[in-house]
Each structure stands twice: as C-alpha cells, then as structure tokens.
C-alpha cells in the first residue's frame, strides 16, 4: 500500500506495511523515543535503553509502519501503530490498557462477533502529521480488521501533560457527548484517576472544546469512537489518558467504506 504526499514542497512516497523483523522493530522503537521522550517529555525507566521506547508488549504485537521511501537518509519509518489481538493478549497476561482501565466488559461486548484489538503507541513525526498519513494508517488498520475478524477496537488516547484541569472543557465535552454505553464502558482504576472538575455544558463553547482536543482524539471521534468513564494520569509518559472504544459495526459508514471495514 503506497501513497504520494508533499512534505516541505517535495514529493515523498509513503508505503505502509507491518514490521517484519528485529530491524523494523528497532526503527519503530527509535521513532517512538523521538516522539514520546524527546518531543513530549516522557520519563525513561531506570535501566531503559536510551534512544528506544520498548516494553514487554512489543514482542506480542504487530506493528504497523509508515515508511518514507524518499527520506533524505534513505527509507525511514515516520509513523507507527501498535496492534495487539485478543487471543495473543489473553495467552500472555492481558492488554496494556488494563493497567489504567478496567476493560473486562469489552470482551463480553464483542463475544461471538469477533476479536478485540487494542490500538496503542500511535505516533507520527511532526512534518508528516497530515490527513494523508493518518488516512494511510487507518487504511492499514481497516485491512487488519478484516483479516483478523475484529469486532471491537479500543485503546488509550492521550492529552499532553498531567494536569487534567487544563483540559477540563475538552474532557467535559467528551464525557457529555461521547460516553460509551454501560455495557461497553471501561472505567479508570480509582487510585490513579485524574482529578478535575467537570464543567456545566452551558459554561464552555463546545466547538472550542472540540478544537482543543489532540488530533488523534478528534480522529477517533470522526470514526465513531466513544470513551470510557474517567481519565488516567500517566506520569511516566507525561499525559492524561482516556480509553476509547470503537465497535466495528458502529463505525461511521463514511470511514468504514474508506477503510474497507464491514460496517
């Protein structure tokens, strides 16, 4: 899967595929370090390999790569998504998101219709953060959904910083307008829940609240995502996280058609 885009006035061929080997995984981990640590201020654990964002889940996951075939230094990984299927997660101790949210109800909600798929570690280098790159990633996710009979997607989406109050309007808008139904509603683990005051809908401009959301959160909402109850403070990654839930059968028809997903 390939697409040509314009970056800084020059034409670049972007290709999409899954990671194939250890070299691909190392390229993904270097990219994630650039974005999460150098750009966003995440804190490395003691003993971590400097320059690589790696954890035990990496070896369990498929990694979707966007590769710039025309990068100045030769082919380079410029975007990625980490994909963890339910059957693999359950055989190896569970999902990454379970450390932040109670997600047990999601398996029941998808039972009999297909697998769960956890999306995570999404990042793109700044010059490539365009609708074309995001669209390419989602086309890849759409193909993956069809290939593995995925019924429901979920994962954490992040707001920058660890002060939830800064994002009070955006969070209030999310929980007032996009809260998942009870049977599909993850709940933040209380001990690490973000503290903030929900705003009365009449006290903020919903359009401004929507505009203030991170691009990935807005992209999820356009696809038809909902959110779980509460937000999680991730001090290691310097973020406030919400849990997004996307039943494939309820995804926006416009996006389901674009990504070859059976809505």
Paired with 124 in beta bridges are: 79
Whether residue 263 is predicted with pLDDT greater than 50 in this model: the reply is: no
Q: Using a CB cutoff of 8 Å and minimum separation of 24, what contacts does 48-55 make?
A: 52/26, 53/29, 53/121, 54/29, 55/96
Hey, CA dihedral for 11, 123, 19, 118, is it positive or negative? negative
Whether residue 103 is predicted with pLDDT greater than 80 in this model: the reply is: yes
Per-residue pLDDT averaged across 70-81, rounded?
88
Whether residue 209 is predicted with pLDDT greater than 90 in this model: the reply is: yes
| pLDDT tens sequence across 167-177 | 999 999 999 99
pLDDT recorded at residue 46 = 55
Say whether pTM exceeds 0.85.
yes
Per-residue pLDDT averaged across 30-54, rounded?
87
- The domain limits of the chain are 2-258
Task: Determine the Cα–Cα distance for residues 12 and 92; give it in Å rounded to an integer.
Answer: 39
Check residues 19 and 72 and name the one with the higher pLDDT. Answer: 19
Task: Determine the Cα–Cα distance for residues 166 and 111; give it in Å rounded to an integer.
Answer: 38
Q: Does domain 2-258 have CATH number 1.10.10.10?
A: no
Whether residue 47 is predicted with pLDDT greater than 90 in this model: the reply is: no
Whether residue 260 is predicted with pLDDT greater than 60 in this model: the reply is: no
């Amino acid at each position: 899967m390939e697409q040509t885009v314009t970056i800084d006035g020059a034409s670049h061929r972007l290709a999409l595929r899954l990671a194939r080997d250890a070299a691909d995984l190392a390229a993904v981990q270097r990219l994630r370090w650039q974005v999460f640590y150098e750009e966003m201020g995440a804190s490395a654990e003691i003993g971590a390999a400097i320059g690589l964002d790696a954890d035990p889940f990496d070896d369990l996951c498929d990694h979707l790569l966007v590769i710039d075939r025309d990068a100045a230094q030769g082919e380079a990984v410029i975007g990625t998504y980490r994909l963890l299927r339910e059957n693999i997660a359950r055989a190896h101790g569970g999902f990454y998101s379970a450390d932040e949210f109670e997600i047990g109800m999601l398996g029941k909600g998808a039972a009999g219709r297909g697998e769960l798929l956890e999306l995570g570690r999404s990042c793109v280098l700044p010059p490539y953060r365009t609708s074309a790159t995001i669209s390419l990633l989602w086309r890849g996710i759409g193909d993956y959904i069809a290939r593995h009979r995925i019924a429901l997607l979920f994962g954490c989406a992040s707001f920058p910083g660890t002060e939830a109050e800064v994002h009070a309007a955006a969070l209030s808008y999310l929980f007032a307008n996009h809260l998942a139904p009870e049977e599909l509603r993850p709940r933040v683990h209380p001990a690490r829940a973000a503290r903030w005051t929900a705003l009365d809908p009449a006290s903020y401009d919903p359009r401004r609240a929507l505009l203030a959301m991170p691009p990935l959160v807005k992209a999820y909402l356009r696809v038809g995502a909902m959110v779980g109850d509460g937000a999680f403070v991730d001090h290691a990654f310097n973020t406030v996280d919400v849990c997004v839930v996307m039943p494939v059968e309820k995804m926006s028809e416009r996006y389901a058609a674009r990504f070859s997903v059976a809505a």
